[in-house]
């Protein structure tokens, strides 16, 4: 989830649990600790390659949950001067646990088993910025200060309501994913991977993705509409060339690069396109269809450029890559 929502969660958890004993330090601790696991977000401004490799890594690992709780619990116990060490530890544990769980809800993925595994776990249930999710924390938090007498009860109701909303999202996700399974079966696809990813437009809208050996299939689903599972899917070749009969050696050269291998480890639904000569430079671009573009723009696009003699000119992430550059060679499947 986004940092604002994590901060709200930290404050509400504090209000629902240990605020009577810790006072203002409960909220200070809850908000601060809720933001600490995302400190590695700063890697995005230093080196985006490091960001995709380490963000949501060991700081979000379940194996560091207890050690971090003991450390930060003692830190706030010491700095506050309050004699409730185990209350601080308990609050820190709950807030860190909520942070890990909330991060697993969206498609970015969280390495909850680091450092023993770099697998990115994701429930794919909630978009990374969800206004309903945030509102179920924000408005009760404001109400808890307006009606301070009932503060703890209001915060508890906020968390219970949020739990019901998360359950609602899981149910919606299961319904959307059923379209994938039906489409795979009806079209006899040999799917290597498939997922239903939340859309930023509505809690009822989902982006369905299916990966086969040669294609990525993408379809939009609105579970409020009565639509056939066989519609609204389109496909892209996983390897796109300038000409349909072409076999690009430049893609093979790009695939050998360690940085590209890291990108493909991160990407869940990768598509590769050779763009031909761009200002006398051979360009290969890598896309991850997991991320929904805004107004036709795709985030997390990785570009590799080669000189005509085969030497590497450079490689980098490209911000807001225009989706139309990729889809102009799209194959439609209705």
Question: Would you state the pLDDT for residue 330?
Answer: 40
The total number of structural domains that make up the chain: 2
- Separation of alpha carbons 305 and 120, rounded Å: 28
In this structure, are strands 239-240 and 270-277 parallel, antiparallel, or unpaired?
A: parallel
Token readout for 111 is: 């390495």
Q: Which of 56, 90, 123 is the last residue of a domain?
A: 123
Answer yes or no: are the C-beta atoms of 93 and 146 closer than 8 Å.
no
Encode pLDDT of 101-115 as tens digits: 999 999 988 999 999
- Is residue 327 very low, low, confident or very high in pLDDT (cuts 50, 70, 90)? very low
Q: Which of 123, 152, 168 is the last residue of a domain?
A: 123
Answer yes or no: are the C-beta atoms of 76 and 17 closer than 8 Å.
no
Encode pLDDT of 214-225 as tens digits: 999 998 888 887
Residues with Cβ within 8 Å of 28's Cβ and at least 6 positions away in sequence, in order, are: 76
Whether 77 is in a domain gets the answer yes
How many of the other CB atoms lie within 10 Å of CB of 109? 19
Question: Interior CA angle at 109 toward 104 and 115, to 5°?
Answer: 95
Residue 12: give the domain boundaries.
Answer: 3-123
Question: Would you state the pLDDT for residue 122?
Answer: 93
Answer yes or no: are the C-beta atoms of 92 and 71 closer than 8 Å.
no
Whether 165 is in a domain gets the answer no
Token readout for 153 is: 């009860």
Whether 199 is in a domain gets the answer no
- Checking if the pLDDT of 274 tops 80, the result is yes
Whether 104 is in a domain gets the answer yes
Q: Scanning the structure block, which residue is given the tokens 């009577």? A: 20
Whether 67 is in a domain gets the answer yes
Whether 25 is in a domain gets the answer yes
**Gyration radius from the chain CA atoms:** 23
pTM as predicted: 0.86
- Separation of alpha carbons 317 and 219, rounded Å: 26
- Separation of alpha carbons 31 and 59, rounded Å: 16
Whether 225 is in a domain gets the answer no
Q: Which of 123, 148, 165 is the last residue of a domain?
A: 123
Whether 107 is in a domain gets the answer yes
Encode pLDDT of 217-273 as tens digits: 998 888 887 655 545 788 888 888 765 445 578 888 999 999 999 999 999 999 898
């Amino acid at each position: 989830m986004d940092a604002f929502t994590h901060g709200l969660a930290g404050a509400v958890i504090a209000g629902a649990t240990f605020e009577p004993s810790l006072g203002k330090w409960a909220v200070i601790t809850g908000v601060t600790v809720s933001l600490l696991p995302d400190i590695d977000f700063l890697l995005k401004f230093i080196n985006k390659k490091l960001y995709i490799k380490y963000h949501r890594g060991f700081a979000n690992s379940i194996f560091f949950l207890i050690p971090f709780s003991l450390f930060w619990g003692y830190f706030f116990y010491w700095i506050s001067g309050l004699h409730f060490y185990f209350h601080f530890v308990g609050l820190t544990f709950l807030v860190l646990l909520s942070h890990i769980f909330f991060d697993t809800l969206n498609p970015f993925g969280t390495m909850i088993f680091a450092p023993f595994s770099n697998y990115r776990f994701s429930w794919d249930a909630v978009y990374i910025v969800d206004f309903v999710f945030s509102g179920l924390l924000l408005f009760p938090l404001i109400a808890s200060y307006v009606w301070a007498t009932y503060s703890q009860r209001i915060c508890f109701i906020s968390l219970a309501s949020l739990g019901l909303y998360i359950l609602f999202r899981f149910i919606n996700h299961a319904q959307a994913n059923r379209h994938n399974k039906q489409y795979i079966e009806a079209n006899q696809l040999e799917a290597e991977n498939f997922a239903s990813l939340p859309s930023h437009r509505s809690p009822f809208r989902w982006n369905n993705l299916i990966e086969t050996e040669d294609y990525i299939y993408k379809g939009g689903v609105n579970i409020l509409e009565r639509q056939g599972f066989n519609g609204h899917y389109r496909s892209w070749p996983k390897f796109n060339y300038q000409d349909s009969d072409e076999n690009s050696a430049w893609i093979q050269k790009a695939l050998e690069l360690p940085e590209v291998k890291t990108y493909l480890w991160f990407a869940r639904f990768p598509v590769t396109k050779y763009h031909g000569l761009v200002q006398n430079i051979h360009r290969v671009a890598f896309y991850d269809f997991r991320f929904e573009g805004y107004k036709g723009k795709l985030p997390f696009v990785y570009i590799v450029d080669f000189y005509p003699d085969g030497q590497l000119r450079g490689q980098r992430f490209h911000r807001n890559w225009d989706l139309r550059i990729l889809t102009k060679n799209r194959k439609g499947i209705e």
